[in-house]
Chains A and B, each alone.
Chain A
Amino acid sequence: DQQVKQNSPSLSVQEGRISILNCDYTNSMFDYFLWYKKYPAEGPTFLISISSIKDKNEDGRFTVFLNKSAKHLSLHIVPSQPGDSAVYFCAASARGTSYGKLTFGQGTILTVHP
């Protein structure tokens, strides 16, 4: 069963506009959520995270929102830039499990057009 789901396989956005990537989860034990970005032929790189005690975390152009009641999180990128084009993975870790043991979604391919 897919405990972390990214239902949009791809997203296309114009440069300067907002990109919104969505993620849903089913495991209520998840208490820490992360977004990773991956370019072709490279490993995933950490982007931003949020603890379940918060509902928003912001870092520059990137903001992550967490809605615990809906078991939903989203990543907002404003303004989007062509260099943001990559695969974005949502990931979660559960309380009581090993640190760094993450459950990933399937990924969303973001394309930002100049």
Chain B
Amino acid sequence: GAGVSQTPSNKVTEKGKYVELRCDPISGHTALYWYRQSLGQGPEFLIYFQGTGAADDSGLPNDRFFAVRPEGSVSTLKIQRTERGDSAVYLCASSLILAGGSGELFFGEGSRLTVL
């Protein structure tokens, strides 16, 4: 596709349930990022993939959160035993890594997660 695609766009779940959020990056982009945006706040870094491996997962809040990118393209963010505080918009972004470490991040529209 032309841009970063995220599904579902909206997800409502109950406390304690398991949730998966999917990100399809721009074709050819080797770097993929997950961010979380809570109401009234800016996006907050969660994890960064370079290819198939998680190069930096320092932003994941706890071990209920896990992300994979098995073939170096599509990524899935997995949240176990969801809590009400997990309610947020989960943003995915992708980029090319250019010489010198530059390169614009392209964001998807986000997946809005509501935990009741």
- The count of A-to-B residue pairs whose CB atoms sit within 8 angstroms is 60
Partner of A101, one of B45, B97, B109: B45
Measured CA separation A101–B101 after assembly (Å): 12
Tell me which residues from 30 to 82 in chain B have a Cβ below 8 Å from any Cβ of chain A. 31, 33, 40-45, 48, 55-56, 58-59
> What 1/0 mask marks residues of chain A from 53 to 97 whose CB sits below 8 Å from any chain B CB?
000000000000000000000000000000000000101000001
Q: A114 in the interface, Cβ–Cβ < 8 Å?
A: no
Residues of chain A contacted by B40 (CB below 8 angstroms):
106
Closest CB in chain A relative to B111 CB, distance in Å:
11
Contacting pair A100 B93 (CB below 8 A): yes
B45 adjacent to A102 (CB under 8 Å) = yes
Report yes or no: A104 in contact with B42, Cβ–Cβ below 8 A. Answer: yes
Total contacting residues, chain A, CB less than 8 A: 22
| Contact between chains at B42 and A106 (CB < 8 Å) | yes
Q: Is the CB of A100 within 8 A of B41?
A: no
Which residue of the partner chain A has the closest CB to B4?
A43
Assess whether A43 is in contact with B93, with CB atoms less than 8 Å apart. Answer: yes
B94 CB to closest chain A CB (Å) equals: 9
Contact between A99 and B107, CB atoms less than 8 A apart: no
Partner of B43, one of A89, A97, A99: A89
Chain A minimum-CB-distance residue to B108: A43
Residues of A within 8 A of B87 (CB): none
Contacts of A102 in B (CB 8 A): 43, 45, 105
| Structural contact, B42 and A4, CB atoms closer than 8 A | yes
Q: Are B109 and A46 in contact (CB under 8 A)?
A: no
| Nearest chain B CB to A109 CB, angstrom units | 11
User: Chain A 29-54 against B: per-residue CB contact (8 Å), 1 yes, 0 no?
Assistant: 00000001000011111100000000
Give chain B's interface residues, CB within 8 Å of chain A.
4, 31, 33, 40-45, 48, 55-56, 58-59, 91, 93, 95, 97, 101, 103-110
Can you list 18 pairs linking A and B with CB atoms under 8 Å apart? A36-B107, A43-B106, A43-B110, A44-B107, A46-B104, A46-B106, A91-B42, A97-B56, A98-B56, A99-B97, A100-B31, A100-B93, A101-B58, A103-B45, A104-B42, A104-B44, A105-B42, A106-B40
